[in-house]
A = this chain, B = another copy of it.
Amino acid sequence: MRPSGRAPDEMRTITIEPAFTRHAEGSVLIGFGDTKVLVTASVEEKVPPFLRGRGEGWVTAEYGMLPRATHTRGNREAAKGKQSGRTQEIQRLIGRSLRAVTDLKALGERQIVLDCDVIQADGGTRTASISGAWVALRIAVDKLLAEGKLSSDPIQQKVAAISCGIHQGTPVLDLDYPEDSTAEADANFVLTGDGRIAEVQATAEGATYDEEALLRLLRLARIGCSQIFAAQDKATGR
């Protein structure tokens, strides 16, 4: 029995509230149950130095957690003067995942920055961030298309992410915090709308796992992502 009473292949409620803030070109508040992440997409008409003059764009992400998003207050990274290894690992993953479905040439020489800020955490903040970032990116790109700044759509696929894990011997979908902190193995899958894989990060926590378990977790992830894709479609009116 899962702490939440959910079935092993049952997701938490997915909520996607587009246009949560008004200044950003794209903005969304995404919820996986009690995990809430605010994602904004900012379009900048410049690219990082390593891409200048190549006629290509860039999609990148930053991630942060409000100090009291968690059960006990964490120190503010801005006050500590550096981002933790965990933060950097997560924001690199988010950026990679979005770039995996974006045609950077079609984006032109501009950058889209996806800021993922966790308002409330209950497990799965990185997967909610990726899933929400796609919506924010979609909205921002639609705006560029509507304004005639882009002539073709650089987004090639939907992308979504979900965590799965082995909890008390059972493979389960969409770990919440109580499960995440006691899971024997923990895997994050980033999948695309056409059923392909953009990233797998599967980690033993205390116990190693075998190939069969990896495949069972991947199958759970497919179930979860299909629900996220549906929610993304609904939120973006597609």
Interface residues of A (CB under 8 A from B): 21-24, 27, 34, 36, 38, 40, 42, 44, 62, 64, 66-73, 76-89, 91-92, 96, 100-101, 113, 115, 117, 119-121, 157, 187, 192, 195-204, 206, 208-211, 213-215, 218
- Bound-state Cα–Cα, A48 to B210, Å: 31
A21 in complex: contacting residue of B89, B120, B157, CB < 8 Å: B120
Closest to A84 in B: B88
A66 to B68, CA, bound (A): 15
* A78:B64 contact, CB within 8 angstroms: yes
Shortest Cβ distance from residue A212 to the other chain B in the assembled complex, whole angstroms: 10
Chain B positions within 8 Å of A86 at CB level? 92
Q: Are A66 and B38 in contact, CB atoms less than 8 angstroms apart?
A: yes
- B68 and A40 within 8 A (CB): yes
Tell me whether chain A's interface is mostly helix, strand or loop, or mixed. Answer: mixed
Residues of B contacting A42 in the complex (Cβ-Cβ under 8 angstroms) = 67-68, 72-73
Nearest 4 interchain pairs by C-beta = A85-B88, A77-B78, A196-B208, A40-B68
Q: Evaluate contact between A76 and B115: CB separation under 8 angstroms.
A: yes
Report B-chain residues with C-beta under 8 Å of the C-beta of A44: 73
The answer to whether B81 and A91 touch across the interface, beta carbons within 8 angstroms, is no
- Whole-angstrom CA separation of A101 from B44 in the bound complex: 37
11 pairs, A vs B, C-beta closer than 8 Å: A23-B121, A38-B66, A62-B67, A66-B117, A67-B115, A76-B115, A81-B82, A195-B210, A197-B209, A198-B204, A201-B202
